[in-house]
Each structure stands twice: as structure tokens, then as C-alpha cells.
Amino acid sequence: MNQLKAKHTDIVKREAARLGFDFCGISVAGFLEEEAKQLEQWLNSNHHGKMAYMANHFDKRLDPTKLVPGAKSVISLMINYYPSNQQLHNDAPKISKYAYGNDYHEVIKEKLKQLIETLRNEIGGIEGRAFVDSAPVLDKAWAKKSGMGWMGKNTNIINKKNGSFFFIAELITDLDLVPDSPVKDYCGTCNRCIDACPTDALIAPYQIDASKCISYLTIELKEQIPDNFKGKMEGWAFGCDICQDVCPWNRFSKPHHHQALMPNEQLLSFSKDEWFELTEVVFKSVFSKSAVKRTGFKGLTRNLSFIQPNSTS
């Protein structure tokens, strides 16, 4: 049986690499006891802001066997999205690097679908469900548990060799696999991410008040951005990379080679004036395949108006 587990584990990791996943780690599917306390405290402190969905399906978030009956393993996967090119104009509104290319949900879903099909062909009739930000799964907790990195003080998973610019996905399956072990935390005494956060969203090491996070304010929040954040957004119109950009471990970030995630050069070349004069026609053209479409034209123009110099709205 142990030989079979090892063989199946090798197949999973080999096929994940072949399909372009940069890291693959495995955990035993079971209740996340430590994370249950943390999640409950986080929700009780209203650090989820208006993301009411974070309070839904509490048990399912913490126990993968409630999402996939009979689940034995959680296969965690990471794909690098660090770009080779950055936005050309330093004074232009900024968007998170993860949104430079095509919407990662679609790209990764397709890879996960191929992975499940390949495993079924190689191993047999297995049950499994794939997740990319699409269901109540604590992806960072599983990535940490499977040894793909440690949870940084900025609450992102950091990999010692490649930093933190990664998308995380999971495949929860009834396959019995050999689990990996968590890795050591290498943040040490560094607090650069906490010190650099302009809205004080990182309220303590490893703790985030999402309701103050620029990513939350520009993407998740559907209402008007509160006035107390005026002058604190540092030019971010969609998402924010500050806590990752200042992290010393990201000096090891290497540009990705995933064709479907390559930056949209038109987007990167937008000048300050082009951003602030954005029309709905241009929005639909440039962002039709981007994660930026998630906030919609109205949401993006709300963000641009909020960060525009001398704006009173």
C-alpha cells in the first residue's frame, strides 16, 4: 500500500509539473483546528469588512471532507505570476501584477481540469474537486501545511527560492497520497511589510484587517471608499503589491513563462492621462480577459476618481 501511495504521489507531482504548475505540495485532508480559532477571531473582529461570504460555510472552510466526501488528500498547487515587464509610467495609476495578463481563474481552472483527467487516465476512477478562489477553501493554510512556503507577516505564502508572487489552487481528492511537511518560518525580525502598509491593514505580524487593505478597498468593497483613506492609496487603482514589493524574499522572484498570463502590453503602456480619461469602450477592449473586469468599469472609475490628484469625490 505504501508503494502504491508513493507511486500515485510521484504521478501527481510529475503531471502537475508537466502542466506548468511551479510547485505541488500534499497534505492529509482533515479539520484545520488551529486555523478554526484564527478564522473565528478574525470574523468576530470584523476584519473581513463587507465580505459577508467569508462568514459563510464555516465548517466547509475548515474541513475538506465536507466539500469532497471521502477526501484523503489536499493537493496544493502554485503558479508563478511575477512579470518580466512592469507598467511603463511611474506616475500612472497602478494595478496589481497578478492582473497584468489574462484572468488567472480561467487559466488555472483549465490546467486543473487537465490534471484531474490525466490522473484518472493514469490511476483510475478517482473523485476530486478543483478550487481556484472559487469556494470556501483556506488555500494559504493548505499551501503552508504542504510545505510550499511559510505564512509571512504580510499573510502571504512565501517560498524561500521564489518569493510570494504566486497563484494558489487546490485539488481535493479521495486519493491516498504521501503528505509533505511544513517548512520553517524565515521572516525573522523583519517587519518591512508592516511598516510599509500605508493604510495600516497589517495590524500585527501575521494579522490583517482586510477592511483597511487597498486590495479590499479597490476590488471587494462595492460601496464608496471611505474618505479616511484619501491620500493613503499611493496610486493603486486595482489591488496593491506594496507588502510583497518590500519583502526581501521577493528579490528571488523570477519572471514567469506562462503564455496565457503574459502582460497585456497596451495596459502596461497606459499613461496617467489615459488612465484618468478611460472610457467604457476602452475598458471593455483592454480588460475583456483581465481580472480587472471583476471590479467593472464603474468600480474602476470609482477607484481612479478616488486616487486622482486634487479630486474631492
Dump strand ranges (E) for 49-182.
Answer: 73-80, 94-95, 128-131, 150-151, 157-158, 166-173
Instruction: Please enumerate in sequence order all residues whose Cβ is within 8 A of that of 114, keeping only pairs 6 or more positions apart, or say none.
Output: 19
- Assign 77 to helix, strand or coil: strand
Domain extents for the chain? 2-84+99-173, 192-254+263-307
The pLDDT assigned to 115 comes to: 95
- Assign 290 to helix, strand or coil: coil
Give me the CATH topology for the region 2-84+99-173.
NADH Oxidase (3.40.109)
Q: Active site includes 91?
A: no
The pLDDT assigned to 313 comes to: 47
- CA 149 – CA 163 distance, rounded (Å): 9
- CA triplet 265, 269, 275: central angle to 5 degrees? 120
277 by Cβ neighbours in 10 Å (0-12 / 13-18 / 19+) ranks as exposed
| Mean pLDDT of successive 10-residue stretches along the chain, which has 313 residues | 89 96 96 80 71 65 88 96 95 96 92 94 89 82 96 97 96 95 97 98 94 95 94 97 98 94 94 96 92 93 92 50
Dump strand ranges (E) for the chain.
Answer: 23-28, 73-80, 94-95, 128-131, 150-151, 157-158, 166-173, 202-204, 207-208, 236-238
- CA 179 – CA 150 distance, rounded (Å): 16
Looking at 10, 59, 91, 133, which residue is catalytic?
Answer: 133
The pLDDT assigned to 49 comes to: 65
Predicted model pTM: 0.91
